Amino acid sequence: MDGKNRLKFKDLYFATEGFKEKGLLGSGGFGSVYKGVMPKTKKEVAVKRVSNKSQQELKEFVSEIVSIGRMSHRNLVPLVGYCLRKDELLLVYDYMPNGSLDKYLHSSPEVTLDWNQRIKVIRGVASALFFLHEDWEQVVIHRDVKASNVLLDVEHNGRLGDFGLARLCGHEVACGRRPLEVQNCENGGERVFLVDWVLGLWNEGDILDAKDPNLGTEIDEREVEMVLKLGLLCSHSDPYTRPTMRQVLHYLRGDAVLPDFLPLDLRGSGRMMLGIHHGLSELSMFTGGSSNVDSILSGGR
C-alpha cells in the first residue's frame, strides 16, 4: 500500500453522504462501517471509520493497511485505500453485497444458508487463512476470525476481512450458534461455550445433534460430522494438536481423511493423539518442518 492508495476525506464524505445513519452497515468496538459510492468511479465501497482512539491504536490499524494492502486472494476482502486525518483513520474496502456470515447464522431461517453454501464459505475462509499463514511472503496471523468478519460477495463466496485486531477465535459454522451463549436467563443466566456443548453432545452419542436445525435435510451428514470434529480439533487447548491451515484445507477439500479420535482424546495429550494415528512426521510434512510449526504456533495459530 503506498501513497497512490491514500484517498481524500472529502471524497469519502461525499461517497457516504456525510456518513449518514441510513448508510450504516455495522458498528463495533473498533469503529463503524458505512456503505458508499465513490464519486468519480461510482464504485460501491464499505468505509470503516475509526476515531476516538489513541495514537497507539491508530498505529495498529495502520498495520492493517500495510499487511493487506499488498495482498491479493479471492477469499480476502480487497482493500481499496485509506485516509488518515488527524486522529481518525478510514479504511475503504470493496463492498460485499451479501453482508456478513453472522447475519445468515444468527437471524431468521428465511435468510439462512444451506449446507452446500456453508461448506463453500468454510473452504473459502480456510483457503484465505492458509494463504495468510503459509502461502504469502510473510506470515500474517488474523487474530479475529469470527462470523461477523467473514463477508459474502455476490456469489456467496466467503471473504475474510478486518485484520490484526484482537485474537484468533474458532467458530463452527455447522452449528449456527455463537461461541458463547447465555441460557436460562430467567434464572440468572448460564454461560454455555459452543465447544463444550458440541463435545457434550458427542459424548452423549451423536455429534450430529449439534448441527444447525435450519440446515434442513439436504445435507451430507459425513461432511457435517467431519466439520464439527475438525472444529473441535482446531479448538484444542494444546496448540500442538491443532492442525495447520494446510491440513485443514486438505480435510475440507477431501484430499485427506480426518484422523479417527474420540471425545476423550480431546481432553488428554494432543501430541499423543496425533502420534497414535499418523505420527509427527505427517505434521512436519504438512508444515515443512518443525521450525514452521513453532513460528505459526507462536502467533496463535
218-274 per-position pLDDT tens digit:
889 999 999 999 988 888 888 888 888 899 999 999 999 998 888 877 764 433 333
- Kindly name the residue from 11, 102, 114, 144 that is annotated as catalytic: 144
Do 96 and 151 touch, CB atoms closer than 8 A?
yes
Architecture label for domain 101-297: Orthogonal Bundle (1.10)
Q: Judge whether residue 143 has pLDDT over 80.
A: no
What are the boundaries of each domain within the chain? 3-94, 101-297
Q: What's the Cα-to-Cα distance from 189 to each of 183, 245, 293, rounded to whole Å?
A: 5, 36, 40
CATH says 3-94 is which class?
alpha beta
Do 62 and 84 touch, CB atoms closer than 8 A?
yes
Structure confidence at residue 17 (pLDDT): 94
87 is catalytic: no
Q: Which of 19-23, 26-30, 96-100, 155-159 has the lowest mean pLDDT?
A: 26-30
Q: Which of 2-16, 54-68, 137-151, 251-265 has the lowest mean pLDDT?
A: 54-68
* Binding residue ranges for ATP: 48
Helix (H) or strand (E) holding 36: strand 31-37
Q: Judge whether residue 189 has pLDDT over 70.
A: no
For the beta carbon of residue 14, count every other beta carbon within 10 angstroms: 15
Q: Judge whether residue 86 has pLDDT over 70.
A: yes
Structure confidence at residue 68 (pLDDT): 62
Do 283 and 294 touch, CB atoms closer than 8 A?
no
Q: Considering only residues 108 and 95, tell me which one the structure prediction assigns the higher pLDDT.
A: 95
Do 280 and 273 touch, CB atoms closer than 8 A?
no
